[in-house]
Amino acid sequence: MENTTIPDYEWNLWLEIMEQKGYDVLKYSKEIVLDFLIERGHLKPLREDIIRTLRENTEMSTIEIMELIQNHSRIKSTLPSLTLTINQKLDKINREMNSLVPFRKVGDRLVGFVPNETNENVIDILDGMGNHHILLGSIDRKTWSLKWNPYWVIQPDLNRYVVGEIRNLKENSWF
């Protein structure tokens, strides 16, 4: 695990869930943090991996690490788990919070520009109005060319907005 920064909105949501479920957040703070890191995929759930990661990335002693793992194992069955829908919502919020151009209402769509998850040379243009993001198009960062998704009808006002934002990104292409 590299230096992992948990976004505030994710952490606040998790703490709110814990408080609503009646957990003493202060008493079980280390166990709750460990469980959150495992649930969100920042840590592998295998005991050996957790021990290795905590040894490499914290100043905890071996005794403290073993105590934490034992306490976590003891209360793990009572802790709530992140469902698929909550994980998807957190991922959607994470993409929206890390957008290159913030999501804005354009016509009947909520449009934002986010880095592609698999190719760093591509920027995705997403519609965030529904429960899931819809890929409207993509921008190649090398040539600044725009490729629309052929399955969606793009209105002229959306086209003007996107082309204008591409010009702004191209002029300010420090990334």
| pLDDT single digits (tens) 4-31 | 677 777 777 777 777 777 877 778 888 8
Q: Which sign does the torsion angle of CA 94, 99, 9, 66 carry?
A: positive
Burial label, 115 (beta-carbon count in 10 A; 0-12, 13-18, 19+) = middle
| pLDDT single digits (tens) 30-55 | 888 888 888 888 888 899 999 998 89
Query: Looking at the predicted structure, is the pLDDT value of residue 155 above 90?
Result: no
The residue that leads in pLDDT, 45 or 81, is 45
Query: Looking at the predicted structure, is the pLDDT value of residue 175 above 70?
Result: no
Whole-prediction pTM value? 0.58
Instruction: Report domain extents, the chain.
Output: 8-82, 98-171
Angle (CA) 13-17-18 rounded to 5° is 120
